[in-house]
Structure 1
């Protein structure tokens, strides 16, 4: 297993941007491949559409592997180089991690951060890893939502002296001024009624 320390990965990145990228013709899906490959254990494979936009990238740094696809984010994986087969070539198997491995991501982000060249494909992967690292650090530093302590159940309130009990029906309160007004209205109605009756009888 290769040494995957940050310093070793930085060396692999430096070797990566010294190689000349090889561009292939568009495939059946309309995407063309741009392949950066160096003998020091670094490889960057980019799939680009006909407008030059990167749709997918796979980066290998020694035994660490990273996959980015448009709209899907970054996945981490490991590279199992296996043993040499009959024709003398080692079989390479990429094993995806069940979930993002933070240390693997941070190593690559730091290593790719040393790149200062102008290759647009390496710069794209550099930015992808930097954004993924930023999102990871924010999720780690975000404090958990504070939870308020549970309040004890409130004791039943004791009714004040003279206050009605819960099941007691309170009689309506009638103010003295309201009573006088009702008497005046009734008297006026009675007078009007007598007057109408007298008019009918006399008429």
Structure 2
């Protein structure tokens, strides 16, 4: 099967921009379906919960198919048509055994041209962009026109650097002797003198008796 060019997919995405979404009632699982369908071979189906969060999306761009599910990520696939491959024939979605990087890149580049405000298109655009970034970080694929940015690494931490920390300042508090006020000293002297006089008086009384 011949690969679809990025420019052809961009044309399909541009046709999808002009489509007004059709929203269905909630199903038995509580999810409602939002459809973006255009006659030029582009289709986006979104499943939304009662709180408005997108739980699943399926995007079809001509012969390429993409599925995103919450908690599962993105899967790629393609449409297999019967009756000689005519456009009017019933198409069956064939899921790729593994994620096909080039198929994902084409969709990410095509959806990257969208600049509107439709939250469902923006969600799928972001999903594909994140999946593409993941592939590029793993080195699975890279756009030839995008230069490779140098990796900025933090300097290694050596054992010496771990100990190059100034020690905590030790504060020694000076303990001062207690301060004796003059008035307190005189009072103690008078008390001692009075006690001495009382003692002498009692001794004289005993001797005279």
TM-score range relative to shorter protein: 0.5 to 0.7
> Can you give the 5+ residue segments of structure 2 that lack an aligned partner in the other structure?
141-209
Please show how residues 21-40 of structure 1 align to structure 2 within 5 Å: 21-40=21-40
| Change in 2 beyond 3 A, CA 1:2/1:81 | farther
TM-score, scaled to structure 2: 0.63
Mapped partners of 1:110, 1:80: distance in 2: 23
Structure 1, unmatched stretches of 5+, are 142-203
User: How many residues of Structure 1 are paired with residues of Structure 2 in the alignment?
Assistant: 138
Q: What root-mean-square deviation, in Å, do the aligned CA atoms of Structure 1 and Structure 2 show?
A: 1.7
SS in 2 for 1:15: helix
Rounded Cα–Cα distance in structure 1 between residues aligned with 2:112 and 2:95: 23
CA distance in 2, matches of 1:76, 1:136: 13
Shift of 1:63: 0.3
Deviations 1:24-62 (A, max 9, x none): 000011000000000000000000000000000000000
The structure-2 alpha-carbon separation of the partners of 1:90 and 1:2, relative to structure 1 and needing over 3 Å to count, comes to farther
Q: Please identify runs of 4+ aligned residues in structure 1 that moved more than 3 A.
A: none
The answer to whether structure 1 residue 107 and structure 2 residue 89 are counterparts is no
Counterpart-to-counterpart distance in 1, 2:67 and 2:88: 24
Deviation at 1:2, TM superposition (A): 7.8
Structure 2 matches for 1:67-82, cutoff 5 A?
A: 67-82=67-82
TM-score, normalized by length of structure 1?
Answer: 0.65
What is the DSSP-based 3-state SS (H/G/I as helix, E as strand, rest coil) of the residue aligned with 1:76?
Answer: strand
